[in-house]
Amino acid sequence: MNKKTDLNEESPLTKVIDDVSEGINDAGTVFNSEETPVIADSTGKEAVRYLLWGLLSVVVNFGTFFLLYHTMHLNYQFANIVAWFLGVQVGFWVDRIIVFRHKSNTAFREMLAFYGTRILTFLIETATLWVGISLLSANGTGSKVVGQILAIVGNYILSKFFIFKNKH
């Protein structure tokens, strides 16, 4: 039995797609040209978002470091610089859009400040790698983990209070 579907009748899939697109069309703009006051977000929820979404930049950082240092056997400092750069770039956009829900028209200026603060935590991580690998002959991955923990804590504080401080 071959039953033809009436073209005017909506299928369940079409209804779902229409509902989703209607919701997207009703959503406000993510970025606008003027600074907008935002609703205060609980620091606890923000910290949880930072830790959960921050894992993405950590995965990029660790993945790049592992690939360059362990797989390609490149110098650990070079591998760390490349991994740091890629991780910071991912981290900037994740922090700006998802974690701190920051809205402004100054993304480039914020990115420069973001990189500036990340240089400080990069130096801390680099020193941790140097002490761990060069002085203590420790495992490169273990040294990287310790450096990342120190960097994550410092990065959250610097981002929250200096880079993405929203006006309430």
pLDDT tens digit sequence for 51-67: 888 889 889 988 999 99
Instruction: Report the C-alpha dihedral over residues 67, 68, 69, 70, rounded to 10 degrees.
Output: 30
**What is the C-alpha separation between 11 and 76, in angstroms, rounded?**
56
Structural domain includes residue 83: yes
Structural domain includes residue 116: yes
Mean pLDDT of 39-53: 75
- The answer to whether 97 and 30 are in contact (CB under 8 A) is yes
Q: Which of 3-17, 52-66, 73-87 has the lowest mean pLDDT?
A: 3-17
Structural domain includes residue 104: yes
- Residue 33: what residue type? S
This prediction's pTM:
0.58
What is the tally of structural domains in the chain? Answer: 1
Q: Which of 11-25, 76-90, 101-115, 130-144 has the lowest mean pLDDT?
A: 11-25
> Which pLDDT belongs to residue 12?
55
Mean pLDDT of 85-104: 88
Q: Sign of the C-alpha dihedral, residues 103, 52, 159, 37?
A: positive
Residue 49 has pLDDT above 80, yes or no: yes
Mean pLDDT of 75-81: 91
The token pair that represents 27 in the structure block: 């959503």
Mean pLDDT of 109-126: 89
Q: Give, to the nearest 10 degrees, the angle between helix 107-129 and helix 140-158.
A: 150
Structural domain includes residue 89: yes
